[in-house]
Structure 1
Amino acid sequence: MRRLFCVALLLLLALTLAAEANKRSKGHRGGGKHDKSRPASECTPAETQYGKCVPEHGDCGEGLRDATCKDHTDKISCKIPCNWKKDISDCKYKFGPWGSCEAATNTKSRSGTLKRALFNADCQSTVKVSKPCSPKVKKTRGDKKSN
């Protein structure tokens, strides 16, 4: 009985070590997310000049940007969210509520103040964005359907 218990314990230990080694090898594969997003140079982020993110396809999505420091330029991966405007993609803003619909242009607008600039970007302190007005009329909770 004691011999069976020792064999079971050794088998459990071997399986645990094999699973741990497998987990470690999966986490340290070459070309991981952190490897391609950082320049290979020895520069600090403050010393590095970053170019504009250029998407691979269309106006948004995964792309590449230049990272230049001390006569050395690297291409690093970047991403432009599809709901951001191209001219403010490296700048993050805090926006207020949408204004009312302007009948002449059929657009509504809102303004935003700068929260932070990504990759040493040159950002405006305030921006104004607009979008077409919705053709749907929103109903309040008290309104009932009339059949």
Structure 2
Amino acid sequence: MEYKWIISFLFLIVVQCVLSAELHGLRSERASKKKGKDCNPWVFEECKAKKGNCGEGKKLGRRTGADCGKTEKVFPCTVPCDGESPSSNQGKNKRGGDKICKYTRGDWSNCDATTNQKSRTLTLRKGDPNSCEKEKVITKSCKRACQYEKGEWSPCDASTKTKQRTLTLKDGSDASCPATKPQTRECKGGENKDCKYSYGDWSACNPSSNMRSKTGKLEKGDSSVCEPTKVVTKNCSIKGGKDRCFFGQWGEYSDCQNGVRKKQRELKFGGADCQKRAVKTKPC
């Protein structure tokens, strides 16, 4: 019985070894397929230039094999021109793009005031001097740093109704900026605080414009700068603004009739609701 148990155990070990070997072989076969070991090397056709008879171009590559993914592919290439050796193409990058020309950048020049442009020079640092430019000059527009100190506004000019001030260039700004700049703007109402006016009474309401006005005479201020008279206007309205009504002066009370006396005022502007406020009554 003991011998039978040992034989059975050895038989199981042999079977397991056989299965492991087969499984390992299958995995190796799949791995080799993934890595493309069954594909033959690429075979290329003659390089054809994109333009003319030489320069950058393309070539078609083919490969054979039962488990290859792609069997045809287009590759970049270069057709040597007359007097140029094929080795000159070594300056191209891995993807077949332009030649590798790397430059050291110089400092930007001062801004040219006439063109508003500045420039700097690039000097070849890495690349084939036969195919790369030894020096390149690039230009761009200037972003001028013009910082100004603001002066005080002048008094308002009564004739032009404007005021002025001067802007002065700060230290450290771009030398191409103007040293000074004049600035002008319109005067807003009440800006010239040195001009004081004495105003009369409001005028009667103008029914066509629903406006009334009053005139002020210069009381204090420089007459060369301040207007001699000033007119201000506003809408005709009663306090509260619910109805726009404008009346004349009240008349005298009438004699007593039926135990009351009345007085009236003329309605200059307003609707039907204003009529109620044009008459006052009081008991006799």
Q: With structure 2 as the length reference, what TM-score do the two structures score?
A: 0.25
Which structure has greater strand proportion? 2
